Amino acid sequence: MRNSPNCRAYIHTLFVCVLLIGSLLVLPFPASAQLFPFAFWAKKACPPNYVRVPALAGYTTQDFCVGKYEAKNVGSVGVSQSAGNPWNTINRPNSITACQANGVGYDLMTNAQWQTLARNIELVPSNWSSGVVGTGHINRGNSNSNGSTNGCTGSDGLYGNNGSAGCGSTVNFALKRTHTLSNGEVIWDLAGNNSEWIKDGNSSQGINTFQSLVTNSTAKALFGPAGDYTSLNSGEYGGLGKFSSSSAGGATFRGAMWSAGTEAGIFFVQTAFSNADAYSDMGFRCAYTLYKE
């Protein structure tokens, strides 16, 4: 019986059924892969109020999730939600703790994740004032006001330029607070509102100028855009932000604060501060790691 044709046919059929069942399962945890090695995983969803960011070669090896909004203080946990003002006056170590308090897979954004996200936004035409990549400028968000403000619940990319009218429409594209990713996801306040800590340390790049004027390839790879925007050398300077790295204090933040004006932008970087610094215009945003697909 053990080696009979009927027995071999039964074993083959059973094996095919296991493959078929496994292909229909969505298994979100690595441990599941050990239990069902034949599963063909479907794309996993990000947590609520997080957006999926496509991987970018040279920076990230798989898609990941980032907070749709800057983190808010909800019971000492850094929560991505529209309601409430961003959590500020917090140093980098405490920002890491606040993100990790969300649970397994959560952490403070890394510079590689920020670059992946910002370079994706850079190449989406609707994020440019002209509708053409490299012409005009990318919007810099809440960057010409007297304070940070909460996110808005609308889905139409509302504009805002100050705390009291943060969800009111304006005609100034530069102050638009949302950006759209290549997959259609929308993220709030990446360029302005609060500067945001990242998990990485830093070293001085000896540069203090607008991102559009930076030509050093190593510096651009670390903190800058993919394209050459040296022709955008006045006014909004492409809306890319300031490259401020003439000194190194040990910690880095990305994205500008509400008062930065034309220095604000999705590629804004500042390396002069230390881990212990905590100011009213500094906040953070959490990331979530999807298990490998």
Per-residue pLDDT tens digits for 208-245: 999 999 999 999 999 999 999 999 999 999 999 999 99
177-186 average pLDDT score: 94
In the chain, domain spans: 5-35
pLDDT tens, residue by residue, 39-94: 334 568 999 999 999 999 999 999 999 999 999 999 999 999 988 889 999 999 99
pLDDT tens, residue by residue, 265-275: 999 999 999 99
**Binning pLDDT at 50, 70 and 90, where does residue 262 land?**
very high
126-130 average pLDDT score: 96
Rounded-to-integer distance, Cα 153 and Cα 167, Å: 9
274-286 average pLDDT score: 96
Alpha helices in the chain (DSSP H): 5-24, 30-35, 92-100, 111-122, 217-223
**Binning pLDDT at 50, 70 and 90, where does residue 35 land?**
very low
Nearest of 196, 212, 210, 195 to residue 256 by alpha carbon: 195
Rounded-to-integer distance, Cα 138 and Cα 192, Å: 12
Higher local confidence (pLDDT), 142 or 274: 274
Which pLDDT score is estimated for 24? 38
Which pLDDT score is estimated for 253? 94
Percent of the chain with pLDDT over 70: 77
Q: Is 28 helix (H, G, I), strand (E, B) or coil?
A: coil
Distances in Å between the alpha carbon of 252 and those of 74, 89, 229, 263, 275? 24, 15, 24, 16, 9
Contacts of 14 (CB under 8 A, 6+ apart): none
Rounded-to-integer distance, Cα 275 and Cα 250, Å: 6
Nearest of 251, 250, 229 to residue 239 by alpha carbon: 229
Which pLDDT score is estimated for 10? 45
**Binning pLDDT at 50, 70 and 90, where does residue 147 land?**
confident
